[in-house]
Each structure stands twice: as C-alpha cells, then as structure tokens.
Amino acid sequence: MSLLEVDRIDSFYGDSHILFGLDMRVERNEVVALLGRNGAGKTTTLNSLMGVVRPRSGTVTFDGEAIQGRPPYQIARAGMQLVPEERRIIGALTVHENLKLAALTAPEAWSFDRIYDTFPRLAERRRSGGQDLSGGEQQMLAIARALIRNPKLILLDEPFEGLAPLIVKDLVRICGELAAAGQTFVVVEQNVAAALALATRCYVINNGHNVYEGTPGELRANKEVMSRYLGV
Ligand code: ATP
C-alpha cells in the first residue's frame, strides 16, 4: 500500500470550489512534485492533506489510516508535517529553542546533533534569534523543525521562493540527501527546474484538476504540458 493515497477529493473555501475530484499517491521514499500556475490549487492540495482544509468529499489514506476530516494536530501525530510557505519561525526564540519546541511532543524525535549535522549552518546560528535569520536560514530551520519530529512525510510549500540561486542549490542538495536517506517529500514549487531536480515523480495541477502525471524526464520532454500549464 502507498504511504499516501488521495482519492477524488473536492475542497472548497466557503462556496468557492477549488479542488475537483483530485487523485494522487505517494509511495515511501518518493519525492513528488506538485506543479502548476499561480492559483492552480497546489497549496489547497497540501492544506487538504494536512487537515487545514477539510475535503468535502473523497478520501485521504495515510499509512493505512483514513485521515480526511481529522484536525491537523492528529494528522501531524500520524506522521505528516507541513512546512508552510510563510515558514512561521518563532522570531522571539533562538534557532535551538525553535527546534526544541518542535521536538517536545514527538515520541521519536531526532537528536539535536543529527539535525545540526544535516544543517551545519543552523549549528553555527543556534543561539541566534529567529528574527535575525536570513531567508535561506529561516527555510532551513522550517525544514529542520519538521524533520526533528521524524515524520513519515514532509509537505514543502514553495521552499525555494524568494531565495538566491546559490541558496536554492544548497537546499536542493540537502533535501536530495534526506530523500536518498529515505525521507519522503511532497514539494509544491513555482521553480520548476529546482522541483524537477529533486523529484522522482510529478503531478501538474490546473484549475483544481490533476492534468498530468509522469517522471521529471517525461515532463521535461512534454513540451505541450510544459508550455500550456507551466509557462516554461
Ligand atoms: P500559488 O502559487 O498562487 O499559491 P496555488 O496553486 O498554491 O497557487 P492555491 O493557493 O491553492 O493555489 O489557490 C487556489 C485557488 O483558491 C485560487 O483561486 C485562490 O484565489 C483561492 N484561494 C486560496 N486561498 C483562499 C482562501 N483562504 N479563501 C478563498 N479562496 C482562496
């Protein structure tokens, strides 16, 4: 059985129908990219997995359990972590305190040493306040805070947005190493090149519909899908 199976979900904001019978699956150890233009429904998809938005119909099965309709804290407890676009670092706490807080209620948290080995830059900045970090450091901390809880699945919402190309390259490398070590990710990105560098499989979403599924190589070769739905 797949780690995540999404079967025909419909999601709404009030009366606005955003996702239409969306299907997707994520196997263990995969990095699945969700691509599409602005407003296509990518963030709404992540929010529907995490329980921030409750799908009105359809099912979401995570590690064998039906989780649709459950609140986010229960879905987090089941092993899913969302790294939201706005990162939500606690500015008044240090890097170390942000990590400590995230690990507090995790039954099998990573050690701080393991986190700092993965993100040496965070080790250097461990006593710095969250508000004093650069954008790239904030994004590292946001990912580290999810990782320290030892989740089965991490959802990354636009992790590379607003970051300099060298920082993006570094983050792609770190996420790639985590994936090679077995971490499963779903990544939503506008930066198609960076997302495809990381992904093992991808979906393209358009107007709340899933319009394409394939490997990064297949998608790159499909000029029609690339230009029609991704503007590349
Ligand atoms: P982006 O890259 O712009 O974040 P996206 O693919 O992630 O794009 P979503 O954020 O999922 O798109 O938005 C899908 C649609 O839902 C858009 O039309 C958007 O305007 C609408 N939408 C998003 N959030 C809300 C909300 N809180 N209330 C009402 N409509 C919303």
Please name the CATH architecture into which domain 1-79+154-232 falls: 3-Layer(aba) Sandwich (3.40)
**Tokens 């930066």 -> residue:** 191
Residue of the CA atom closest to atom 31 of ligand 1? 13
Task: Compute, in angstroms, the gap from residue 43 CA to the centroid of ligand 1.
Answer: 7
Mean pLDDT in residue range 169-193:
95
pLDDT digits (tens, 9 = 90+) for 75-108: 999 999 999 998 899 999 999 999 999 999 898 9
Q: Which atom of ligand 1 is nearest to the CA of 45?
A: 11
Between 119 and 231, where is the model more confident?
A: 119
The per-residue pLDDT for range 54-65, each reduced to its tens digit, is: 999 999 999 999
Ligand 1 atom showing the smallest separation from residue 44 Cα: 11
Give residue 138 CA to ligand 1 midpoint distance, Å: 23
Residues within 6 Å of ligand 1 by CB = 13, 16, 18, 36, 38-44, 190
Q: For the chain, what percentages of helix, strand and coil (3-state, to nearest 5) are there?
A: 40, 25, 35
- CA gap 36, 55 in Å, rounded: 20
The mean per-residue pLDDT over the stretch 161-174 comes to: 93
Burial of 44 (0-12, 13-18, 19+ CB in 10 A): buried
Cα(175)–Cα(114) distance, integer angstroms: 15
Give me the count of residues in the chain: 232
Confidence of residue 232 (pLDDT cuts 50, 70, 90): confident
- Rounded to two decimals, the pTM is 0.96
| For ligand 1, mutation pick of 42, 191, 203 (most atoms within 8 Å of CB) | 42
Which amino acid is located at 11 in the chain? S
Backbone CA torsion sign across 149, 93, 137, 159: positive
Residue 109 carries which DSSP code? P
Domain boundary assignment for the chain: 1-79+154-232, 89-151
* Residue carrying the six token digits 């599924």: 213
Other C-beta atoms lying within 10 Å of the C-beta of residue 4: 24
Asked whether the CA dihedral 46, 165, 151, 130 is positive or negative, the reply is negative
CA distance 173 to 157: 17
Task: Report the separation in Å between the CA atom of 188 and the middle of ligand 1, taken as the mean of its atom positions.
Answer: 13
Most informative mutation of 16, 83, 190 for ligand 1 (most atoms within 8 A of CB): 16
Q: Which pLDDT score is estimated for 165?
A: 92
Kindly report the backbone phi and psi dihedral angles of residue 200, in degrees, each rounded to the nearest multiple of 5, phi listed first: -100, -20
